[in-house]
Structure 1
Amino acid sequence: MSVLSNFPAIPNRVAIACEYLHFLGSKGDLRENVEKQLSPLKKGGNEDSESQDGKADGRTIAGFVVDEILKLGLSSLDEERVLRLNDEYLCMQVPEGDWANALRPILMAKLVMPEHAEKSDQSSVPEALSWLLVQDPYSTLPFSGGIHAEQIVRQLGQQDALRTIIGNNQRFQNLIYWARYLGLAERVSLKIGASSADIVIPDPTEALARMLPSIFVDQRELSIQAFMQRAAEYCPVLDGGVARVRLEDRLMGDFEPKEGHLSRSTSLALFRLQARKLLRLEKPSDAQARILDLGKAHEPVSHVRYTAPEAA
């Protein structure tokens, strides 16, 4: 079980559980007591209303969330069943008590880096996120209805493991909750006449925006190759990253990546970051370029310049 198959274990619930354990301090409390105190979690009513609610197999939602924070290495359980937040998180400074934001870089590393994901029993998450980022942001991907499963079959084949990992609606929706939290996707509600529908847009803009100070730590301008290499080191589900390459090696036929092109999701993110005036995308005439694929438009880019105010 991972955050994809443990339906109650969505980001806001993980953050609430960690916040409460932080409040308890180093003494912690019996797991049973912690779950009782977190029992309001089973009342849901937020963005995960289509996920598993109430009790499952005689257990509360809080119990499933505790399972996941243990696997993620955020907390530990001793022989007397006392549950504590691990020391490195007990000493965290959390501005304005925003645990969801404070945990984001920690959970990002645990869920997108294959070596960390494997240690946390989340080995299926990097490839699922990689698959999501291979999808076309200019083509409708419904939040529910099973269209994603059909796309997995077309792109990877009926027998591919990903068909089981995120093939059903609940697992796919948990993937989207986590992708959105990590800044790798958006979920948008569209109203068409009297009906409405939620769609998913693979878009790593927010994740890349948070990485920019680290990517440009020693330079304000990088070649597009160096930029993408550094981005993929921080987030291996992006173009060129270890997890992404493993997924792309399984794509069939027309779905294989085009040589010299960035994926549409990464191209969209770079375009949006330039619109925010965080980056400037440049193409000197004598430099090697990569092609941004913006759907109907294709733009060559050879260098990326960091233009955020703090970079000046």
Structure 2
Amino acid sequence: MSVLKTALATPSRMRGIFRYLLEAPKQRENKEKLTRLLSPHELSEGRNKSAEHPMFDAALRESIKCRLLIADNDDIAINFELPEASRHPKMGDKLLPDTLVQLLFASDNEDEEDLGRLIAWYLAQDIYDAPGTWQEVEQRVAEQGVAESLDLKISSNSLFGQVEDWMCYLGFAWGHASDSNKKLVVAEPTAYLRRNLKDLFQGEAKAKLSIRDFLDRLAKKCPLFETGKFREQVEEKIGGRLPNHLSTSTAFALFRLQDDKCIQLIKESDADLFIFPSGDKEAGFSHIIWTGVEL
């Protein structure tokens, strides 16, 4: 079962276990002690005694299944195979969203393909007319006829809430309250892209990449974007994006990053242009420069 369908395995709960282990001696702890510390028995009063720690157990189980953590006899430990920076006590928590993107979507993790396809579907929608509630998502999925073929069934409002929590935590969306005080989610990946610009440009400030090379690197790092595995599965079914055209969500995020002086989009003569849609307008660019600014 994926984190999408394990409602109790929220990002905050998985993060809580990981943060504790970051600071623990040798980044490991006895499972029984870990359970007592993070899910005290006093908070279990009134629960079914056969499942006294359902929230903790679900978060721990999914953390182990995705290889963020490992079970070692009676201990729980941070996976020593993670990159050193991801295990660093002062950096691990900051890097956790990107660590989870790698573990969930870029590591051939079949258990999380439903969440991968669903986020990719969100990012493939027109950001200027994107569904923001469970009812709107179900209607759009039905209109596009992809519920069965892509396993994009959102069967309950609680399941939609799980999608929303994961998209926002990983940096692919943000939520806000509408005028009617109804919470809406906007699938817009600026936060993810901003965090990963340095890595995508291999740490070279002022480096210049063609848009095609940038997208290739991005799709390899996170297959939810254009030409990535999950995005291609979705776009094969829903269509809508022409060759050398970006999705509105990716274009919107890159325009925001340019406004923040993090990148510069340029158009060079005799170079392949990619079309960036923006509302009812569009612009063409061939290359992207990372300015070195990190916000």
Q: CA deviation at 1:114?
A: 5.3
Name which of 118, 122, 141 aligns with 1:132: 122
Q: CA deviation at 1:298?
A: 0.7
**One-letter amino acid of the counterpart of residue 181, structure 1:** Y
Residue 86 in 1 paired to residue 74 in 2?
no
Query: Separation in 2 of the partners of 1:245 and 1:229?
Result: 13
Query: Separation in 2 of the partners of 1:60 and 1:73?
Result: 20
Q: Residues 93-132 of structure 1 correspond to what in structure 2 (within 5 A)?
A: 93-95=88-90, 100-113=93-106, 115=108, 117-118=109-110, 121-132=111-122
Secondary structure of 2:181's aligned partner: strand
Residue in 2 that maps onto 1:46: none
Q: CA deviation at 1:163?
A: 3.1
**One-letter amino acid of the counterpart of residue 184, structure 1:** F
For structure 1, the 5+ residue unaligned runs are 44-53
Residue 211 in 1 paired to residue 196 in 2?
yes
Residue 306 in 1 paired to residue 290 in 2?
yes
Name which of 217, 230, 237 aligns with 2:217: 230
For structure 2, the 5+ residue unaligned runs are none
The verdict on how the C-alpha distance between 1:291 and 1:40 changes in structure 2, with shifts beyond 3 A counting, is farther
Secondary structure of 1:84's aligned partner: strand
**One-letter amino acid of the counterpart of residue 104, structure 1:** P
Are the aligned partners of 1:55 and 1:61 in contact in 2 as well (CA < 8 Å)?
no
Q: CA deviation at 1:300?
A: 0.9
Are the aligned partners of 2:172 and 2:191 in contact in 1 as well (CA < 8 Å)?
yes
TM-score by length of 2: 0.85
Query: Separation in 2 of the partners of 1:216 and 1:162?
Result: 34
**One-letter amino acid of the counterpart of residue 19, structure 2:** E
Q: CA deviation at 1:245?
A: 0.8
Residue in 1 that maps onto 2:137: 148
Are the aligned partners of 1:149 and 1:168 in contact in 2 as well (CA < 8 Å)?
no
Q: CA RMSD in A?
A: 2.8
Residue in 1 that maps onto 2:241: 257
Residue in 1 that maps onto 2:264: 280
Residue 177 in 1 paired to residue 172 in 2?
no
Residue in 1 that maps onto 2:250: 266
The verdict on how the C-alpha distance between 1:161 and 1:282 changes in structure 2, with shifts beyond 3 A counting, is closer
The verdict on how the C-alpha distance between 1:78 and 1:279 changes in structure 2, with shifts beyond 3 A counting, is closer
Residue in 2 that maps onto 1:3: 3
Query: Separation in 1 of the partners of 2:141 and 2:24?
Result: 44
**One-letter amino acid of the counterpart of residue 272, structure 1:** R
The verdict on how the C-alpha distance between 1:100 and 1:177 changes in structure 2, with shifts beyond 3 A counting, is farther
Query: Separation in 2 of the partners of 1:309 and 1:90?
Result: 24
Query: Separation in 1 of the partners of 2:42 and 2:243?
Result: 48
Name which of 67, 75, 92 aligns with 2:69: 75
Secondary structure of 1:304's aligned partner: strand
Residue in 2 that maps onto 1:37: 37
Q: Deviations over 1:254-305 (max 9, x none)?
A: x432222110000101110110111111123432211101121111111112
